[in-house]
Amino acid sequence: MPAVRDNAEPLAIVFEDDGLVPNNILPFVAYQGAVKLDPKRAEETIEELFEANGWGGDVAQRHLRLSALSRDGS
């Protein structure tokens, strides 16, 4: 079963400049529900997806931490 959904709708967020963190003029784009996760293999699914696309190292770790934060509501 493929892990990536092809019908996920994007959510684009533009952050206002708060003077503390430099922001990109482009929006932050998130695709909620873009990856089908088996609760028993969520981390492995994301790791496999990142590896298959050549994404790894620190980038993968930051995304996994953000994913975990969004799941537990922190």
Q: Which domain holds residue 48?
A: 10-72
Domain assignment of residue 54, yes or no: yes
pLDDT digits (tens, 9 = 90+) for 32-70: 888 888 889 888 888 888 888 887 666 555 555 555 555
Which tokens hold the place of 33?
């529900």
Domain assignment of residue 24, yes or no: yes
What are the contacts of 6-12 at 24+ separation with CB within 8 A? Answer: 8/32, 8/33, 8/34
Domain assignment of residue 3, yes or no: no
Domain assignment of residue 43, yes or no: yes
Domain assignment of residue 1, yes or no: no
The SS3 call for residue 19 is coil
For the entire predicted model, the pTM comes to: 0.47
